[in-house]
A and B are shown apart, each in its own frame.
Chain A
Amino acid sequence: MISGLIWFLFAGVSVGSAVVVATSKNVVHCGFGLLFTLLGVCAMYAFLGADFLMATQVIVYVGGILVLVLFAVMMTHRIESNRLRDELVQPVAALGAAALVFGLSMLMITRTAWDEKVPGEALPTTSSFGRAFLTDYLFPFEFASVLLLVAMMGAALITREKKEEEDQ
């Protein structure tokens, strides 16, 4: 019962802060709302016994992507005076897109034959992840790594070219 209550607490945190992300007119508040949504989802992973996924979620999304998003927001000139406008078209389009995503994911969730397990003690998942990456899913894993490496080199190249132009 108590773990159920805690589950609802975390679910409430993720949904509540997701509402803040969608409705807040201050971009920085949206960013910090996203922080709590991600942490709430992270707690959901913990409830499912997915410990490795939980920590990866925090490292990649909170420590990496969210920090970069906030960096970009803060370095933008006069961010606070440019409040996001809520025109009539935007909410309608957003609702349409959200309904589409919701419908598709519901379709996927209901059509998939899930391998159901009773959530209990957090079992070590790290070694099975590693084994799966380096045997069955070696090609997608390496492909993603090379893709990210190329993206990183591309980013470095773009910034360097700009710098040389400035020097000239």
Chain B
Amino acid sequence: MHETLSNLPLLSGLPAQVLVVLAMVSAGGIILGCIAVGGMFFIWSERKVAGYIQSRYGPMYVGGWHGVLQSLADGVKLLLKEDIWPEKADKPLWRMAPLLVFLGAFLSFVVLPFGPNFVGANLDIGLFYVMATSSLVVMGVISAGWGSNNKWALYGALRGAAQVISYEIPLGLALLPVVMSTGSLNLGTIIQAQAGWIHNWHLLNPLFFVSFWIYVISSLAEVNRVPFDLPETESELVSGYHTEYTGMKFAFFFLGEYADMFVVSAIGVTVFLGGWYSGIPALDVPALFPLIFILKSFFLVFVQIWLRWTLPRLRVDQLMYVCWKVFIPIALANLLLYGVIRTVLS
């Protein structure tokens, strides 16, 4: 990034330190732009898919063709909306919450590998780093719930935090066999282990296949999607931890949520679905890598949307039962089995 900028004729006269700052700011700007555009696209597609599943059209007017610019119009509306806050809110925490939620999603985007040379920061601990950034989202949710000074918000926040920290365990355990197999936490290395024909994808290894389903279901809980959307159950908690938020603050929660959906899908694609490889060696040209990666991730996001409009919601006790008594034992047994097989075979 820094080198690209210093090669531009317009900027070549600037001192190196200014260029470093410029490179940092523009890298951040690019990620922010991706999240905003991607988030708006996902919100539009969520409404269209919901409409299709419920035999109606969804947004049709704004932007001409099938209401494609509906999210942009909504964004402008949210920008212009009056910023209302509860009088007895804990102001610092209440203001900080949307930023923390958004920051968690933003930081994860930095390591997503769209192509071999098309990644914000090629960290050696990529997978571990993504697990770490999701902790910030939990803090944002707690901060929103407490700061709002509202019972619904607090209940939603407590549920959200309990759910996310519980499901982080099966999520991590499901990813571990793949890490053992590739011997690396670097997302690029994990993808390169799946090069070639489609049978090299980790999904098609029987033990990783089990891991994949545990990962997908746990990631639904991580991003508070149906059937695990207990933190924002509209029939009992109004809308949970973001009940009191309006305008741009609400928009940050909303964008953060959709960005998180993309992040968990992209990690699923990276670890199990061959990342930027298409599964057919003839199609694997570097120019197509980002496209393939994004299309696969969009497909997993679509699955999340599809499930949301299909499944009913679990109860709180069922949610915890599934996590602690079903997923964690299966994931642990799977990990142990993989370790044993690997040791025996080597």
Q: A residues engaging B (CB < 8 A)?
A: 1-2, 26, 28-29, 32, 35, 51-52, 54-56, 58-59, 62-64, 66-67, 70-71, 74-75, 122, 124-126
Contacts and interface: CB of A to CB of B under 8 A. Distances in A.
Contacts of B185: 126
Interface of B: 17, 20-21, 90, 92-93, 96, 123-125, 128-129, 131-136, 138-139, 142-143, 146, 154, 158, 161-162, 165, 168, 185
Given A51-B125, A63-B165, A71-B158, A29 B138 contact: no
Contact of B135 (A62, A70, A122): A62
A63 B142 contact: no
Given A52-B128, A55-B129, A62 B92 contact: no
B124 A126 contact: yes
A39 to B, nearest CB: 8
A51 B21 CA distance: 22
Q: Give 10 nearest A-B pairs by CB, closest first.
A: A63-B135, A58-B132, A124-B124, A55-B132, A62-B135, A55-B128, A59-B132, A51-B125, A55-B129, A2-B17
A10 to B, nearest CB: 14
Contact of B168 (A26, A55, A63): A63
Contacts of A52: 125, 128
A2 B132 contact: no
A59 B123 contact: no
Nearest to A52: B125
Contacts of A32: 92-93, 96, 139, 143
Contacts of A71: 158, 161-162
B124 A122 contact: yes
A59 B125 contact: no
A63 B134 contact: yes
Contacts of B133: 58
11 contacts: A29-B90, A32-B96, A55-B128, A55-B129, A55-B131, A56-B128, A56-B132, A59-B128, A63-B135, A71-B162, A122-B124
A70 B161 CA distance: 10
Nearest to A20: B92
Contacts of A124: 124
Contacts of B168: 63
Given A2-B20, A67-B161, A71-B161, A58 B135 contact: yes
A63 B125 CA distance: 17
B139 A74 contact: no
B92 A29 contact: yes
Nearest to A26: B90
B98 to A, nearest CB: 14
Given A2-B21, A29-B92, A58-B132, A74 B146 contact: yes
Which of A1, A63, A74, A125 has the most C-beta atoms of chain B within 10 angstroms of its own C-beta?
A63
A59 B138 contact: no
Contacts of B146: 28, 70, 74
A14 B68 CA distance: 44
Contacts of A126: 124-125, 128, 185
A70 B124 contact: no
Contacts of A63: 132, 134-135, 138, 165, 168
